[in-house]
């Protein structure tokens, strides 16, 4: 018998290889690769075996006839020539699907109706009864290919597409097709690794497709074993004993495979930071009969590690592409974090990354050893293969341009850096400032911000809270941010100018290559500036006005210490003596540390991010501020303010520095500081003591404080007391930021 087995584009070769392996014991089977699938010559048992066991096939078709069909009449006549009573009865349901390419009959639905009419008319003429049409689970499914006025009609033996394994009960956003997941695993060499007992991890598992397919391969489980409906089940040519024998053999292999897999629990793992995706994956895992054989857990990408007993294995992942999942601006950070996790924790492992944007793969800092082209639905993707080792590490950082290759603008930039250093020198020494902005796009050709940090020690973000850092000889590190160039600028020219600038900065400031940290700064919204870019986990200790603070120069867009708020932190330190401090939107707690150092009786710091609260906890502990007097609360500040009735009038000092705009999966709705300022300030003022001070700051350059609306909103809240508002923005801008006076706004609010 002749069959045609279809597959997604670029999977034809993989399908042919798979079918040859599946049919090695069939003496008559022949496999020929072609466009969109393979031709299979073999027995009906061979076709059944493909339906049951193929992991990458889409459908198994039994060709019935091929004939010219230049018009509807020819199509109708050709269909009437087939003896349909040999295939099914009038009591059964029917569905027809037509794909038309380069044919005069280019209306697929009309062509399908003519095929159905021809079949129904034949049954009517022979016996009066007629089959019904059903688009949902029909007994018989027919597929017709119209290509250049030639019709090829086939019976679909698979019925529903073969990627519908029967275990998927819940989906996450943009789920991966099971056949594509299997193709990724086969291309990544998972069958051999699984046979050798290697572990597998998917750190962004979504609904669990890759771990489940990996377990089916490792346990030798037929992917079609759970399916309840097949296209051949109601077909008159169906050989039930043959099919039942294949099912029985597959069930025996499944039992033996699960027993083997059960000897190494936790070897196949998936994780995702989205709790909803984890719940969906666990439901799918249970329905697949793999509960207890695959581990699914909620975990952030940066926290993923090999198991304690793991040998080197395979990390396989399908990150968001920016088409349906993830905003495009977030994806470079995500890929950088993935690369950092691989480089830092998975040495010796293999990795397979399916991406719809190959340029993002360059952000991983790893050199791919090979790649395959695959299609995820209509999206052309690349499967990148990595062998994780130091030899595969590459830097995505621009390489400084050597002095002989620099243009005339380099000298101007060097002169400006020296001029700025000289102009700031006396002020820096008199105020003992060791972290400051040296340059901020002073020359339009070099749109960079250059911040210098004098570091004293190095710490690990994952070290115990009480662990001491490693002391370093005091030396400056440069944090360089490039303001993203407009689309009108030639990217190659901008890249060369950037490399030129980095070379000038390193030479002029006498910096070693490892002492310069570079990032691209784009316009941010809300807490986007806090997005993780990597996972090195290195924290550097710096000093500011008698306190020690930890900064991170690699893993986030910002360092954890906003230099333009230096004067504001000093003010908080002066106002804090004998007061209870509330720090809302506390970030890394640097303001809290200054207040505690200034003599605050207690501090309460709120932030939605556990990462930043842990950072704040480290900053406090580094300065000896621990215990119940220093509370750190993970909470949505807006929700907390709405229900903080027990906190009313408690705080003599409040620091409120909200984002300009914010939304997150853990927030209800959105926050806009211009729109929501009155409600936010009114709720915050409820918590302020009668003789207290609220320091309100924000970084929205076009922000305008609506004093009239605010005063009206709080009128009578404190009896006869009136609200006094003092704009101290001009005094809160440090000298090193004086070139940009509107970088932030700051007010003092008090009850009089």
Instruction: For residue 362, give every residue at least 6 positions away whose Cβ sits within 8 Å of its Cβ, in sequence order, or none.
Output: 396
Angle at 516 between CA 515 and CA 517, to 5 degrees: 120
pLDDT in tens, 688-720: 999 999 999 999 999 999 999 999 999 998 988
pLDDT in tens, 158-188: 999 999 999 998 665 557 999 999 999 999 9
What are the φ/ψ torsions at residue 750 (nearest 5 degrees)? -140, 155
Report CA 244 to chain centroid distance, whole Å: 43
Architecture of domain 178-223+253-392: 3-Layer(aba) Sandwich (3.40)
Angle formed by the axes of helices 209-218 and 178-187, nearest 10°: 60
Distance CA 557, CA 330 (A): 11
User: What pLDDT does 509 receive?
Assistant: 95
Query: CA neighbours within 13 Å on the CB side: how many for 216?
Result: 32
pLDDT in tens, 5-25: 999 999 999 999 999 999 998
Helix (H) or strand (E) holding 268: strand 268-272
- The label of the residue with tokens 């243009």 reads 407
Secondary structure (DSSP) of 682-701: HHHHHTEEEEEEEEEEE--T
What are the φ/ψ torsions at residue 111 (nearest 5 degrees)? -60, -40
Instruction: For residue 232, give every residue at least 6 positions away whose Cβ sits within 8 Å of its Cβ, in sequence order, or none.
Output: 48, 51, 155, 157, 159, 238, 243
* pLDDT mean across residues, the chain: 91
Tell me which CATH code domain 2-156 carries: 3.30.2130.30
Report CA 121 to chain centroid distance, whole Å: 54
User: What pLDDT does 398 receive?
Assistant: 77
**Average pLDDT of the segment spanning 138-149:** 95
User: What pLDDT does 514 receive?
Assistant: 86
Helix (H) or strand (E) holding 384: strand 379-387
Helix (H) or strand (E) holding 745: strand 745-751
| Length of the chain in terms of residues written | 752
User: What pLDDT does 27 receive?
Assistant: 85
Residues of the chain with CATH 3.30.750.80: 406-559
**Average pLDDT of the segment spanning 46-50:** 97
Residues of the chain with CATH 3.40.50.150: 178-223+253-392, 562-752
CB atoms within 10 A of CB 484: 14
Q: For the sheet with 723-727, list strands across it.
A: 630-634, 602-607, 580-584, 651-656, 688-698, 745-751, 723-727
User: What pLDDT does 492 receive?
Assistant: 80
Q: Could you confirm whether domain 406-559 is CATH 3.30.750.80?
A: yes
257 pLDDT band, cuts 50/70/90, is very high
Report CA 436 to chain centroid distance, whole Å: 33
Q: Could you confirm whether domain 562-752 is CATH 3.30.1200.10?
A: no
Residues of the chain with CATH 3.30.2130.30: 2-156
Is the Cβ–Cβ distance between 318 and 210 less than 8 Å? yes
- Tell me: pLDDT of 64 over 70: yes
Distance CA 207, CA 286 (A): 12
pLDDT in tens, 446-503: 999 999 999 999 999 888 888 889 999 888 999 999 887 776 777 788 888 889 999 9
**Average pLDDT of the segment spanning 365-373:** 93
pLDDT in tens, 495-540: 888 899 999 999 999 998 889 998 876 544 444 444 455 556 789 9
């Amino acid at each position: 018998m002749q069959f045609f087995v279809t597959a997604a584009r670029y999977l034809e070769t993989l399908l042919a290889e798979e079918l040859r392996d599946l049919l090695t014991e069939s003496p008559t089977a022949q496999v020929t690769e072609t466009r969109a699938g393979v031709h299979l010559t073999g027995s009906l048992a061979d076709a059944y075996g493909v339906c049951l066991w193929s992991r990458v096939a889409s459908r198994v078709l039994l060709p019935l006839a091929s004939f010219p069909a230049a018009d509807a009449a020819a199509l109708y006549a050709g269909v009437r020539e087939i003896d349909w009573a040999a295939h099914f009865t009038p009591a059964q349901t029917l569905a027809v699907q037509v794909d038309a390419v380069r044919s005069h009959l280019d209306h697929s639905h009309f062509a399908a109706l003519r095929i159905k009419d021809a079949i129904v008319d034949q049954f009517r003429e022979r016996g009066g009864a007629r089959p019904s049409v059903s688009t949902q689970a029909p007994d018989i499914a027919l597929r017709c290919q119209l290509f250049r006025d030639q019709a090829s009609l086939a019976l679909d033996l698979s019925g529903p597409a073969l990627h519908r394994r029967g275990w998927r009960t819940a989906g996450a956003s943009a789920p991966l097709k099971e056949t594509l997941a299997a193709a990724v695993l086969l291309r990544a060499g998972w069958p051999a690794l699984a046979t050798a007992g290697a572990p597998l991890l998917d750190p962004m598992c979504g609904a669990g497709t890759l771990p489940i397919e990996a377990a089916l391969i490792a346990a030798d489980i037929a992917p079609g074993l759970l399916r309840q409906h097949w296209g051949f089940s109601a077909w008159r040519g169906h050989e039930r004993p043959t099919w039942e024998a294949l099912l029985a053999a597959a069930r025996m292999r499944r039992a033996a495979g699960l027993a083997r897999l059960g000897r190494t629990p936790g070897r196949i793992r998936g994780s995702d930071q989205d709790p909803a995706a984890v719940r969906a994956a666990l439901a799918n895992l249970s329905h697949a009969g793999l509960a207890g054989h695959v581990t699914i857990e909620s975990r952030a990408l940066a926290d993923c590690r090999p198991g304690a007993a793991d040998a080197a294995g395979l990390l396989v992942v399908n990150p968001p592409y920016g088409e349906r999942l993830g905003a495009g601006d977030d994806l470079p950070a995500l890929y950088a974090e993935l690369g950092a996790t691989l480089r830092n924790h998975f040495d010796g492992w293999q990795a397979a990354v399916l991406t719809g944007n190959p340029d993002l793969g360059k952000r991983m800092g790893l050199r791919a050893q090979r790649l395959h082209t695959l299609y995820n639905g209509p999206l052309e993707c690349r499967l990148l293969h990595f062998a994780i080792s130091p030899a595969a590490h590459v830097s995505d950082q621009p390489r400084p341009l050597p002095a002989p290759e620099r243009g005339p603008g380099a000298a101007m930039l060097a002169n400006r850096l020296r001029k700025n250093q000289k102009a700031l020198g006396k002020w820096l020494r008199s105020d003992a400032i060791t972290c400051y902005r040296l340059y901020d796009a002073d020359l339009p050709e070099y749109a960079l911000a250059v911040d210098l940090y004098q570091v004293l020690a190095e710490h690990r973000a994952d070290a115990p809270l009480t662990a001491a850092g490693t002391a370093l000889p005091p030396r400056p590190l440069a944090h360089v941010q490039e303001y993203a160039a407009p689309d009108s600028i030639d990217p190659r020219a901008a890249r060369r100018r950037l490399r030129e600038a980095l070379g000038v900065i390193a030479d002029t400031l006498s910096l070693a290559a490892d002492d310069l940290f570079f990032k691209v700064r784009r316009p941010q919204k809300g807490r986007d500036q806090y997005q993780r870019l990597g996972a090195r986990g290195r924290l550097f200790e710096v000093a500011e006005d008698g306190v020690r603070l930890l900064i991170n120069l690699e893993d986030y867009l910002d360092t954890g210490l906003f230099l333009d708020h230096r004067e504001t932190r000093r003010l908080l330190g002066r106002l804090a003596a004998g007061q209870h401090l509330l720090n809302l939107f506390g970030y890394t707690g640097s303001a809290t540390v200054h207040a505690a150092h200034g003599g605050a009786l207690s501090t309460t710091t709120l932030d939605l991010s556990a990462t930043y609260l842990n950072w704040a906890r480290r900053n406090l502990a580094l300065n000896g501020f621990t215990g119940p007097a220093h509370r750190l609360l993970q909470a949505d500040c807006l929700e907390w303010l709405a229900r903080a009735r027990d906190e009313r009038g408690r705080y003599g000092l409040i620091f409120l520095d909200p984002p300009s705009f914010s939304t997150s999966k853990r927030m209800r709705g959105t926050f806009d500081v211009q729109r929501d300022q009155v409600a936010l300030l009114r709720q915050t003022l409820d918590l302020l003591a009668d003789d207290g001070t609220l320091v309100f700051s924000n970084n929205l350059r076009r922000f305008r404080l609506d004093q009239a609306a605010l005063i009206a909103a709080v009128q009578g809240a404190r009896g006869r007391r009136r609200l006094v508002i003092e704009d101290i923005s001009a005094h809160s801008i440090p000298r090193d930021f004086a070139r940009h006076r509107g970088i932030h706004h700051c007010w003092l609010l008090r009850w009089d």
